[in-house]
Structure 1
Amino acid sequence: MSVNGRTNVDLDGATWLKAGDSPGSDSVEVALLADGHVGLRNGNDPDGHVLVFTPGEWAAFTAGVQDGEFDRP
């Protein structure tokens, strides 16, 4: 898989972990990939699309989560 048309990321052999806060049948899975990339997918559709984040993108996202940037009012 190509990320931003530049980096090839191999999803074969990735270890997918269910996110701890996935309620009921809603399932988000995360995998740590080569070169620090992070994959996210719908655990109910493991053969579906995968979002792949670069290390910088993932760091910005997790910092936003920790800062409450995505909290509902």
Structure 2
Amino acid sequence: MAESTIEQHTLAGWDKPDLDLSAADWHSSSKGRGDVQIAFVEGFIAMRNGGSPQNPSLIFTPAEWGAFVLGAREGEFDLT
């Protein structure tokens, strides 16, 4: 088998810890398909798909979360 030439690099500015989310208190936006869940863990905000909780979660700093929430409130992510 050929040796892999793929290198893994740390992303610039990626200073988020590897959080243990196993005991996180997840909050749901709704109940149903495509349910988005968030948890506040060790000063960070984790977001996951409640329909597939085994998949990786997105981790936000408070500043990133604030910018996301503000953008959502202002319709930045509306698809219409």
Q: TM-score range by the shorter chain?
A: 0.7 to 0.9
Overall identity of the aligned pairs, in %: 36
Partners of 2:68 and 2:57 lie apart in 1 by 16
Q: Which structure has the greater CA radius of gyration?
A: 2
Q: Structure 2 vs 1, CA of residues 5 and 18 (structure 1 numbering), >3 Å: closer, same or farther?
A: same
Partners of 2:53 and 2:64 lie apart in 1 by 22
Shift of 1:6: 4.7
| More helix per residue | 1
Normalised by the size of structure 1, how large is the TM-score?
A: 0.74
Partners of 1:70 and 1:47 lie apart in 2 by 25
Shift of 1:70: 1.4
Mind listing any 5+ residue stretches in structure 1 that lack a counterpart? Answer: none
| More strand per residue | 1
2:70: which partner in 1?
Answer: 63
Partner of 1:7: helix, strand, or coil?
A: coil
Mind listing any 5+ residue stretches in structure 2 that lack a counterpart? Answer: 1-13
1:41: which partner in 2?
Answer: 48
1:50 aligns with 2:52: no
Partners of 2:72 and 2:16 lie apart in 1 by 27
1:27: which partner in 2?
Answer: 35
Normalised by the size of structure 2, how large is the TM-score?
A: 0.68
Partners of 1:16 and 1:49 lie apart in 2 by 14
Report which structure shows greater RCO (CA 8 Å, sep ≥6).
1
Partners of 2:35 and 2:16 lie apart in 1 by 29
Deviations 1:43-71 (A, max 9, x none): 12111111111111100000101111112
